[in-house]
Amino acid sequence: MTTNTHDDGERRDSTLRHFTVHHDGVTIPVSRGGRGRPLVLCPGLSSTQADLRELIELLRRDHDVVTFDLRGHGLTSAADRYSFEAFLGDLAAVLAEVRRLGPPAPPVLVGYSLGADLALHHASEHPGTVAELVLVDGANPVPEPFVTEADLAMFRAMWEDLAASQEALRGTARQVSLTARDILDLNVEIDQARSAILDRYRTIDCPIRMIMSTAMAGRDGEGPAARFNRNWRAGVERLVRERPRVSTSWLDADHGLVFTHAAQIAEIIRRPRDPARQPAS
């Protein structure tokens, strides 16, 4: 891994700095700005720093925020593999460089969707390196997998549409290079990872907050969406029974909550954590 850094010479509390991490043949542009407690934000599948701009700007009011894009997303280069382990390696490489550049204090690690799963896995494999985990609509120990044979055609069509829509964003900070098959394979991997994720929670000693959507799959009261939403809530309820000190907040939103409810998410992260408090929906 190699790094290039620069600073524009402004005061540290108002500087937006950029550096580049080279890892596993991938070039990862990283941005850092704000002041206060260090925080690293890991985006999710098919989301980029540019997509998360509102949330990032809100977090920078109270935190020294590091943001980056996963391989094949935004301004990070494409890759020849898009596995869960490859994305986890990208996150580890960025966090290693953040530690090298300082300050030495462990950061708050915030992950959205796939980024939440990556954050949880990283914290479980690197004890003592994360001050707190904030998991936004991900890392959910759901009792049932999402990608099943019965719903495979529906998911395949949805992800083919998503991949096709990316053509208009090619060459921009919001581009995603993954194919529909890449996305399908990753979601199967995520299901597999979540089937054993309770074991990961048991190994983590830092505080954990979850910020979850009440209608992850949308508000259709019937059909697959309702079933997916029940599975989503059941997973969180299962986790809280197992790990009652996990602080859970529910937002009245779908899986796009980081875009529609950025202010509420930033406020939850900003608020002092009370382990005995379980916020209502």
Cα 2 to Cα 117: distance, rounded to the nearest angstrom = 26
Conformation bin of residue 235: beta by default, left when phi > 0, alpha when psi is -120 to 50: alpha
- Model confidence pLDDT, tens digit, residues 174-224: 999 999 999 999 999 999 999 999 999 999 999 999 999 999 999 987 778
CA gap 229, 220 in Å, rounded: 10
Percent of the chain with pLDDT over 70: 92
Tokens of 9: 């010479």
Residue 280 scores a pLDDT above 70:
no
Is the confidence at residue 12, as pLDDT, over 50?
Answer: no
* Homologous superfamily assigned to 2-270: Alpha/Beta hydrolase fold, catalytic domain (3.40.50.1820)
Assess whether pLDDT exceeds 60 at residue 14. Answer: no
Q: Where are the domains of the chain?
A: 2-270
pLDDT value at position 115?
98
- Write the pLDDT tens digit of every residue in 16-43: 999 999 999 999 999 999 999 999 999 9
Mean pLDDT, range 156-168, rounded to an integer: 91
Note the pLDDT of residue 274. 61
Residue 5's pLDDT is what? 43
Mean pLDDT of the chain: 91
